């Protein structure tokens, strides 16, 4: 089915471009809505730390979430100032950190190149990569009904994905499955960092909710969630072995293959209450066949 994604007013983070679409030997000219992807440099106390490829929306949330999940700061108050500077080449996010935090960064220098929001692509040392976050202390209790409710709402909150078909999302839902916050980005790590920043800016308690990501649960996704104090992370695709190990040691409840009516709980299953008895008797939904490009 050919989907016409042209819109009168593209959402933030999207632009329109002409496209020639071929179907059954015929070509039609269209205006397509496509996601923006620009270099976003993180500069800490005038020192370049990393460059991410990201969607240039919710950058205040991204800066705070990235600083927290990457261990640049321990609490939001340590981000003393933030200034975004748009340049021809992209965007620079200038973060002002306490002197002791800035000094620590010098000892864990990174290269400046990343790919589509992968925060570990620039890591120069193994200890920078395999950081172990503090153990998660929040203890929400999540039911299968709440997870199903949140999954049912995801598409309605993803305006950028609906317009472009090219972005991931990270969402926060309460213990009844109501989505309160959602952030989108071409990079799945960026989307989660934006959500983490939004959670802290909203001063939202992590004791009565959970996060959902529209991607696989890689090591870094699990690490970022645990570093932020998120106790339950549900991914619509599979986790990696390293993500499971990290989640287990950090006290994170890691859920994969989240689908209406079922999921797979890999670690700390005590926080997941499951489905009502009448639903548990139904066949468990098989994971969908993976397609090329999934979780890119």
Q: Confirm whether 118 is a catalytic residue.
A: yes
Given the structure tokens 């991204």, which residue do they identify?
Answer: 62
Element (H, E) at 51: strand 47-54
Q: Report CA-CA distances (Å) from 175 to 50, 67, 107, 142, 273.
A: 35, 27, 40, 6, 11
| Sign of torsion over alpha carbons 164, 160, 168, 48 | positive
Given the structure tokens 């009502």, which residue do they identify?
Answer: 276
- Compute the distance between CA of residue 268 and CA of residue 254 in angstroms, rounded to an integer: 7
- Compute the distance between CA of residue 5 and CA of residue 234 in angstroms, rounded to an integer: 29
- Compute the distance between CA of residue 153 and CA of residue 103 in angstroms, rounded to an integer: 43
Of 235, 266, 264, nearest to 250 by C-alpha is: 266
Of 188, 162, 186, nearest to 171 by C-alpha is: 188
- Compute the distance between CA of residue 157 and CA of residue 155 in angstroms, rounded to an integer: 5
Structure tokens at 124: 């120069």
- Compute the distance between CA of residue 21 and CA of residue 166 in angstroms, rounded to an integer: 17
- Compute the distance between CA of residue 236 and CA of residue 211 in angstroms, rounded to an integer: 11
Q: Report CA-CA distances (Å) from 126 to 92, 110, 131, 260.
A: 27, 11, 9, 38
Choosing from 44, 118, 121, 263, the catalytic residue is 118
Residues known to be catalytic: 118
């Amino acid at each position: 089915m050919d989907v016409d994604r042209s819109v009168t007013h593209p959402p933030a983070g999207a632009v329109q471009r002409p496209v020639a679409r071929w179907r059954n030997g015929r070509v039609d000219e269209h205006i397509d809505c496509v996601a923006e992807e620009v270099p976003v440099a993180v500069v800490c106390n005038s020192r370049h730390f990393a460059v991410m490829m990201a969607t240039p929306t919710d950058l205040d949330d991204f800066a705070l979430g990235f600083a927290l999940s990457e261990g640049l700061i321990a609490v939001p108050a340590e981000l003393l100032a933030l200034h975004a500077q748009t340049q021809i080449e992209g965007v620079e996010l200038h973060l002002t950190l306490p002197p002791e935090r800035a000094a620590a960064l010098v000892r864990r220098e990174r290269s400046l190149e990343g790919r589509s929001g992968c925060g570990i692509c620039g890591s120069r040392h193994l200890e920078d990569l395999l950081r172990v976050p503090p153990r998660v202390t929040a203890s929400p209790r999540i039911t299968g009904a709440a997870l199903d409710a949140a999954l049912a709402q995801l598409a309605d909150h993803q305006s950028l994905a609906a317009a472009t078909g090219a972005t991931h999302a990270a969402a926060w839902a309460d213990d009844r499955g109501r989505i309160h916050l959602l952030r989108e980005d071409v990079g799945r790590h960026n989307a989660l960092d934006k959500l983490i920043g939004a959670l802290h800016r909203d001063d939202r308690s992590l004791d009565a909710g959970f996060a959902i990501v529209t991607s696989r649960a890689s090591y870094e996704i699990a690490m970022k969630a645990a570093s932020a104090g998120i106790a339950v992370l549900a991914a619509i695709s599979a986790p990696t072995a390293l993500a499971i190990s990290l989640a287990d040691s950090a006290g994170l409840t890691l859920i994969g293959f989240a689908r209406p009516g079922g999921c797979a709980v890999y670690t700390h299953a005590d926080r997941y209450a499951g489905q009502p008895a009448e639903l548990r008797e139904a066949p468990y939904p098989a994971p969908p066949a993976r397609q090329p490009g999934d979780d890119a």
